[in-house]
Amino acid sequence: MALSRVCWAGAALWGSARPPGPYVARRLQFVRSGLAWGAPRSSKLHLSPKADVKSLISYVVTKTKVISGKYHRFLGRHFPRFYVLYTIFMKGLRWHMTEMCTKMQRGTHPAIHDILALRECFSNHPLGLRQLHALQMRALSRAMLLTPYLPSVLLRHRLKTHTTVIHQLDKALAKLGISQLTAQEVKSACYLRGLNSTHVAEERCRTWLGEWLQISCSLKEAELSLLLHNTVLLSVNYVGTRR
């Protein structure tokens, strides 16, 4: 079955360096079982409410503005020459993020290149995995089908581990090819990554999963916060999921 090859290929990616630990093995088994069963019976357990999604998008924009503002003032005072070059790049990046999030709030589905253009913002301050606020981690946990009711330090560790496992599975799935998955496996793969695929046509699911893999396979380990946020960025306005 196509799925078994994905799981074995995913395990092989940890390869000669070291075998996957117990957590990874359990997660691979969970994914294998989940895809075999198909999409969950109820979408009520899926994404956080729209209010949470809107708050999360607004938080991303606000957090970027606040932290960037403080950093700009620091550079301007202590490193004026470097600040000139820095602002040329970062102001354009911050404008791009604000523009994309504004379009999303109006119902636009972002393009792959628009999301990847923001990778710098998610590799460090202000939106790297180590800098995420507790409220944001809880919202992202709900979107990833994980309980949000844990201390911040455990939420952060689990989100990082969960996202790393999905990233490795994405690489294995990209090698295998989406065309090798059955309709049920495709819907479940989308569901695991944040798309409420219950009422989305199979071809739409395959298209969405292809977009997800393009983004995921382009990211480095230090940029996995973008993959985590992609659960919201790529799915909230996708055709067939809006209510």
CB 221 within 8 A of CB 168: no
Residue 196 lies in a domain: yes
CB 166 within 8 A of CB 192: yes
Q: Token pair for residue 148?
A: 């949000």
Residue 52 lies in a domain: yes
Q: For residue range 70-119, what is the model confidence (pLDDT) as tens digits?
A: 555 655 565 555 445 445 445 567 778 878 877 887 888 999 999 998 88
| Total residues belonging to the chain | 243
Residue 39 lies in a domain: no
Residue 24 lies in a domain: no
Q: How deeply is 69 buried, as exposed, middle or buried, from its count of CB atoms within 10 A (0-12, 13-18, 19+)?
A: exposed
Q: Token pair for residue 86?
A: 């820095």
209 pLDDT higher than 90? yes
**Nearest of 149, 161, 157, 171 to residue 218 by alpha carbon:** 171
Q: What range defines the domain where residue 165 resides?
A: 47-233
Average pLDDT, the chain: 74
217 pLDDT higher than 80? yes
Beta-carbon contacts of residue 44 (< 8 Å; ≥ 6 apart): none
**Nearest of 1, 23, 3, 24 to residue 187 by alpha carbon:** 3
Provide the pLDDT for residue 201. 93
What is the rounded average pLDDT of the residues 30-39? 43
**Nearest of 16, 4, 14, 10 to residue 170 by alpha carbon:** 10
Residue 84 lies in a domain: yes
Residue 69 lies in a domain: yes
**pLDDT top residue among 19 and 84:** 84
**Nearest of 227, 186, 232, 229 to residue 209 by alpha carbon:** 186
Q: For 123, how many CA atoms within 13 A lie in the half-sphere containing its CB?
A: 10
15 pLDDT higher than 60? no
Question: Model's pTM, two decimal places?
Answer: 0.69
Residue 186 lies in a domain: yes
What is the number of structural domains in the chain?
1
What is the rounded average pLDDT of the residues 34-58? 49
Q: How many CB atoms lie within 10 A of CB 233?
A: 25
Residue 187 lies in a domain: yes
